[in-house]
Structure 1
């Protein structure tokens, strides 16, 4: 790839599929270059990089297990190399903490292993990955943490998941408070139920569940990835530079 210096650079965790994939493509459409992470499917990640290249953007895919904090130092080292080799920079501008999984289990049946896995990916991993990346973030940068409508309303079987997302919303406000002197903003984007492969693709593939979601959404349908990625890209534009410490739900008016 040709070294570039003018473009803004975003890191998007879990950027090879679902909402992350939609986000990186929409960032590229706005002229923002991307470092996207993937958990295990290199082919999907390479396809995302190729799609961005077709749009005239520059992207790099790096492997990351966002639930294993012991791997973060190696990831940061790989990121430094990628930034230098591809952009001639030692910093990046935007961080989108998107990577996640869904586990549906009633409180009475949730195992400690399930709880810890959700916590490591959605809460502990986000906290310590952000901590590791802050020295590389340019002043005036932006952080977006992904939450969920389930941190506002309740769905049976999502107690542990919703707890983690509630914690992320609090963390985001503290980031905004502590990083304000560097001109860095932090906001939370909370999607509603979206038709992707998240959580086994229940919203997308289960007609009855999709119908239920549609029935409690003011706009009368379940969300799709194209409802979320463009919004995140827009939030990272300079038009939204004064938006800070906010929780922005993008659910079409679900459970209002």
Structure 2
């Protein structure tokens, strides 16, 4: 048998921020089930990260959890070095997919939003996404994929979401510019905008508040609140070769909210 016939194809590798819970966790597991190895970040809950790594192993894939606060851009240089070490553990020098998922919620009427509120959202949702992606670009393969997570709130106006939605709107513009500028390397960049999803985001308000749960279901064409399993598979599919010709798009995954 020739040596070439013994060469195993390189497994795909994804980096996902905020992969220890919610939509990030579901995306990690959906990709792992498709044979993708994972590097994911968590901010401070190592126990959750360990649980996700164990679940990834149950799918036959490998996962490495790295601590990162995406608001701390000064830590990105050291983080990239840790990514290089993690890639080496996975037998690779570069990775295939980046999902900028980590985020925080904010609910306050326009007249009550403070400068500190806005600065905090900017650090996490825009500045962090902008510069972490920039720092990781040398490690992203030509022909790779980037997904930036936005929100249905950039289309649907719900009072009290102005600061959060404005930052997500900036991410959607960033996505189109990234798609244009990185296209020469064959890198596709898209935005996924989930609707209201039953997770612990925003203190679990969509999941745990029966009145809000019913109100969201009533404004959704498919008649229910979204679940993490409605989002992770869509992101995994978007990253696959089946969608290689999709770039610079905002794809809302909301079950048809407010249409």
TM-score by length of 1: 0.97
Q: Deviations over 1:60-107 (max 9, x none)?
A: 0000000110010111011111111x2222111100000001010111
- How far, CA to CA, are the matches of 1:157 and 1:71 in structure 2? 31
The residue that corresponds to 1:37 in the other structure is 41
Which of 124, 132, 148 is the aligned partner of 1:129? 132
Which of 55, 58, 61 is the aligned partner of 1:51? 55
The residue that corresponds to 2:76 in the other structure is 72
Q: Deviations over 1:33-52 (max 9, x none)?
A: 10010000001001101100
Which of 83, 86, 94 is the aligned partner of 1:82? 86
- How far, CA to CA, are the matches of 1:131 and 1:79 in structure 2? 14
- How far, CA to CA, are the matches of 1:233 and 1:41 in structure 2? 24
The residue that corresponds to 1:144 in the other structure is 147
Alignment of 1:96-175 (within 5 A): 96-175=99-178
| Structure 1 residue 5: Cα displacement | 6.5
The residue that corresponds to 1:22 in the other structure is 26
- How far, CA to CA, are the matches of 1:225 and 1:145 in structure 2? 16
Aligned residues, how many? Answer: 252
Using the TM superposition, name which of 106-115 and 227-236 deviates more: 106-115
The structure whose Rg is larger is 2
SS at match of 1:62: strand
RMSD in angstroms over aligned alpha carbons?
0.9
SS at match of 1:61: strand
| Structure 1 residue 218: Cα displacement | 0.2
Which of 208, 212, 221 is the aligned partner of 1:209? 212
- How far, CA to CA, are the matches of 1:226 and 1:245 in structure 2? 24
The residue that corresponds to 1:184 in the other structure is 187
- The answer as to 2:193 corresponding to 1:219 is no
TM-score by length of 2: 0.96
Task: Name structure 2 gaps, 5 residues minimum.
Answer: 1-7
- How far, CA to CA, are the matches of 2:218 and 2:152 in structure 1? 16
Which of 212, 227, 245 is the aligned partner of 2:248? 245
Conservation of the 8 A alpha-carbon contact between 1:5 and 1:88: no
| Structure 1 residue 235: Cα displacement | 0.6
Conservation of the 8 A alpha-carbon contact between 1:32 and 1:57: yes
